[in-house]
Amino acid sequence: MAHASAAAVETRFGSFDSDPRWVVTIPDGLPGFEKCRRFVLVTSSRLEPLQCLQGLDEDKPSFLAIDPRIAQPGYPAVLSDDDRLRLGLENASEPLLWLGLVTVQDEHVLVNLRAPVVINPKRMIGLQLIDPDSTQPTDHPLTLD
């Protein structure tokens, strides 16, 4: 089986090599960027433990992201049955990729734990969970030691 070759992708955080196999479709887009449905997940030693979720469609939004369980140990990574169906999960034990979107405000780095992006890496389908009843913060301080 031939491997897809890496391609350079321009983000607002710099230029990185990306793997075309890491292109994820988010059918509903993200709030404010609904026309962008395809994103590539960029990982790099320059970004670790952060990743970049780079839009490939209109507006090409670019987000830093981190596993919310790194930002908050014990983070409740739980999906509803409806969200499992939307992600095309065949069984509850399939691994998922959870991403909290990160913002930088002045000297503060904050992660949105209330509305994570969840990706099914087997099907490369994602969605942003938006639970208005969640008690998780949208601006959790991120400290990386």
Q: Distance between CA atoms of 97 and 120, rounded to whole angstroms?
A: 7
**Residue 12 pLDDT class (50, 70, 90 cuts):** confident
How many helices (H) and strands (E) the chain has is answered by: 2, 11
Residue 2 has what pLDDT?
45
Residue 4 has what pLDDT?
57
Residue 53: name the closest of 100, 105, 94 by CA.
Answer: 100
pLDDT digits (tens, 9 = 90+) for 87-103: 999 888 889 999 999 99
pLDDT digits (tens, 9 = 90+) for 22-50: 999 999 999 999 999 999 999 888 889 99
pLDDT score of 5 more than 70? no
The fold for domain 7-141 equals BH3618-like (2.30.290)
Residue 115: name the closest of 103, 124, 106, 105 by CA.
Answer: 103
**pLDDT exceeding 70 applies to what percent of the chain?**
95
